[in-house]
Structure 1
Amino acid sequence: MNKIHYLMNREVNYTLSKCFLTRLTGWEEVPLVKTDACGLVLFRFNNDFTGLRFKLVLNDIEILTAAHIHLGMRGENGQVVAFLFGPVTRGISVNRGVVTGIIVESDLTGPLQGMSLLELARKMEIGNSYVNAHTENHPNGEIRGQIKRF
């Protein structure tokens, strides 16, 4: 029985996309934020969904304090499930900057704490996740983007 369950889970894994992306703008914020800041985030899960590599590219953002993955559909705010940057007490200003990293299961927090990265992949697949970059002037988020398949 375990072998069948294992094979079934492996089949499910291969149907999920491993690559996702989002473009960050103030227009995606809830409520919207007028800003010149923008960004892009690329995500790639490894083959067994135990690691998630990311590359966060930010442009023209003032006093960045944190960037996270949140759960939530477009137009709604949700809880943080993973940290991409920060939090830092003194923000940084970025003309053009890149943050890279790897998220593992123990990094998941909030409603996904204690779950596998496969759960995060499923949320990304159905559009129920977004990235939010927070600044000193916009602590609830200055730029945001819904995560989608790449």
Structure 2
Amino acid sequence: MRQTNIGRRRFLVSIGAAGVLLGGLGVSPAAAQGNSSPRQRNFRAHLTGDEEVDPVETKAQGQMLVTFDDDLTELSYTLIVANIDDVVAAHIHCAPAGQNGPVGVTLFGGGPTSASGILAKETVTEPNPGNACGWTSIEDVYEAIQSGEAYVNVHTVANPSGEIRGQLG
């Protein structure tokens, strides 16, 4: 799908904001890719409609930035979106690429709201209670991301099962 110049410009502004946020978190681009220490603590995902199962045709895009503390007891995240309307929820799910899975951590709930910029930013200390992923601690979430078994998606009124998605890695 062809993107308009305005949409592209908005997304580039969002990506610039991600760089500023990473810098504000004390995370270098190399660290965001896991190159700063033996144990990777920083993860990211690029969210698009093409990554949904089944793919969704949309101009919406997003970036998810995740950082774990040294003890793996806190997960800090920033979810940035562009060109998306009527958002109702966003989650970290447990499943490998190409498969759908249950919700493990709620990132955003509310709306519906339209957004271009930061949709959600928070630090969490536990996954959703009783989640179907079986995650009982932030370390469980870390292990799932580390093994390629976690993705982020953003749900909308038009696409309640997910409009954009990206595998965390």
Q: Same fold by TM (over 0.5)? A: yes
Q: Secondary structure at the match of 1:110?
A: coil
Q: Is 1:61 aligned with 2:84?
A: yes
* Cα offsets for 1:35-54 (capped at 9, x unmatched): 00000000000111111000
Bigger Rg over Cα: 1
- 1:114: how far off? 6.4
SS in structure 2 of the partner of residue 111 of structure 1: coil
Q: How far did 1:16 drift?
A: 3.8
Tell me how far 1:116 sits from its aligned partner. Answer: 1.6
Distance 2:147 2:80 in 1: 23
Aligned residues: 133
Q: C-alpha root-mean-square deviation of aligned residues, in Å?
A: 1.7
Q: What is residue 124 of structure 1 aligned with on the other side?
A: 145
Distance 2:102 2:135 in 1: 15
User: Contact 1:64/1:91 (CA < 8 Å) preserved in 2?
Assistant: yes
Amino acid at match of 2:152: V
Please give the per-residue CA displacement for 1:30-72, whole angstroms capped at 9, x wherever unaligned.
0000000000000000111111000100100010000000000
Is the contact between residue 16 and residue 122 of structure 1 (CA under 8 Å) also seen in structure 2? no
Which runs of 5 or more residues in structure 2 are unaligned?
Answer: 1-36
Does the 8 A contact of 1:112 with 1:120 survive in 2? no
TM-score between the two structures when normalised by the length of structure 1: 0.82
Give the secondary-structure state (helix, strand or coil) at the position aligned to 1:27.
Answer: helix
Letter in 1 for 2:153: N
| C-alpha displacement of 1:97 | 3.2
Alpha carbons of 1:38 and 1:145: their partners in 2 closer, same or farther (altered >3 Å)? same
Q: Per the alignment, in what secondary structure is the counterpart of residue 44 of structure 2? A: strand
Structure 1 residue runs of 5 or longer lacking an equivalent are 1-13
Higher relative contact order (CA 8 A, sep 6+): 1
Q: Scaled by the length of structure 2, what TM-score is found?
A: 0.73
State the AA in 2 paired with 1:57: I
Structure 1 position 105 matched with structure 2 position 130: no
Contact 1:68–1:85, Cα closer than 8 Å, also in 2: yes
The answer to whether residue 126 in structure 2 is matched with residue 75 in structure 1 is no
